[in-house]
Structure 1
Amino acid sequence: MNHFISMMFSLLVITGLQVSVKAEEKRHKRSSSRHYISELTVSNGGGWGSWGYRDMCAEGTYAAGFSLKVENPIDGDDTALNGIRLHCTDLSKGSKAYHRYTSVQSDVGSWGRWKDIRWCPSGYLTAFQLKVERSQGNGDDTAANNIHFQCSGGSILTGDGTDWGDWGSWSQTCQGKGICGIMTRVEEPQGRGDDTALNDVRMYCCT
């Protein structure tokens, strides 16, 4: 009897995992296919690594906040900025919107930890500016280090990244309601080589 109960429990766990995996696959399939009207880019992004998948906010929501995954300076191979998350909500829901949000992200580096969310005081994210360190030759490369976002309400938000590198020019500004998706360029771990993690990012705008 105990053996039968154990087998049934295992079957339920496996079934639950399969449902969870399928739900996650559907979520990404649905979100990545959302229609967007423009793509925001910057000219100073790093060139290492490859572009990941595009992840989009759910229909009717837009990014009103963001958070960064950052490796703080270490005595060794620094990677600095490793990931960017957009936090999506529908501000027409009022103040409760900031408690009812979903998060989207593209590829993320292996190092660092996620910092606190930074929210627009009003409006949605509409443009961005990237801080990137140029190639150091035989030195320690870090590529992207930090990011600024502009909000439709006029505020500028600064990420919790590191200080290396230089700020490039701003992207174009969303002509729609706001930023609704993201795609990142990330270099995979190099083993004993020089790791850079996140190099570049593209944002997407929706009406």
Structure 2
Amino acid sequence: MYIGMVSSPEAPAGTAAPAKAAPTRREQRTITSQRRILEAAVDCLIEHGFAGATTSAIQARAGVSRGRLLHHFPSREDLLVAAARHLAAERVAATTARAVAEIDGHVTGSTRVTNVVEMMWMSFHEPHFWAAVELWTASRTNEWIAGALLPVERHLGGVIRSSIDRMWGPELVGHPRYAQLREILFTSMRGVALAYAFDHRDPRRDPHLPQWTDTALVLLEV
């Protein structure tokens, strides 16, 4: 999901690009260990909040030694920022894949608009959003987290917008008011979703949902 800023040089014409070597057993153990730690950190962040996501709690949940945890992530802040990025990237990819599978090629017009608006809205009720909220709140008074989180969020914002574009499809994305609509929906949904931290109700019945759909239909002239 995360793309490097510098492109790799192209292979000479007529030659195949060298295949990436499979990870060694040691490298695979490292990858598995890091993933287990990140997933444990995300679970702690979602279930117990920033204050409760301590290194000892994460270590116990991941089932790893303290030395191994600190080897991969020297500080709690490093770990929690990496964990939020890990989950968000996975959920963006999963949401996009589900949307493309459900609507690409066979859902168009107003039905596509309705479906995509609902999918966008429901994505703000998945675990990655609340993990991010915990870190956003912590970053207000923690300059280290704020500094570490800023480039992650800027990059992730680009990834999310690219994924949203795929959900809408090239025809609707090509409309001159599409970019305006995307930002209206994205920022409005994020703000409304925050109230669900204390108001636990069915988001599919939120009164804003038909308003967002109507706005999309009008702006995109569907």
Both structures adopt the same fold (TM-score exceeding 0.5): no
Q: Between Structure 1 and Structure 2, whose CA radius of gyration is higher?
A: 2
Q: Determine which structure has the larger helix proportion and give its number.
A: 2
Provide the TM-score with structure 2 as the length reference.
0.27
Provide the TM-score with structure 1 as the length reference.
0.29
Q: Determine which structure has the larger strand proportion and give its number.
A: 1
If asked which structure has higher relative contact order (CA below 8 Å, sep 6+), I would say 1
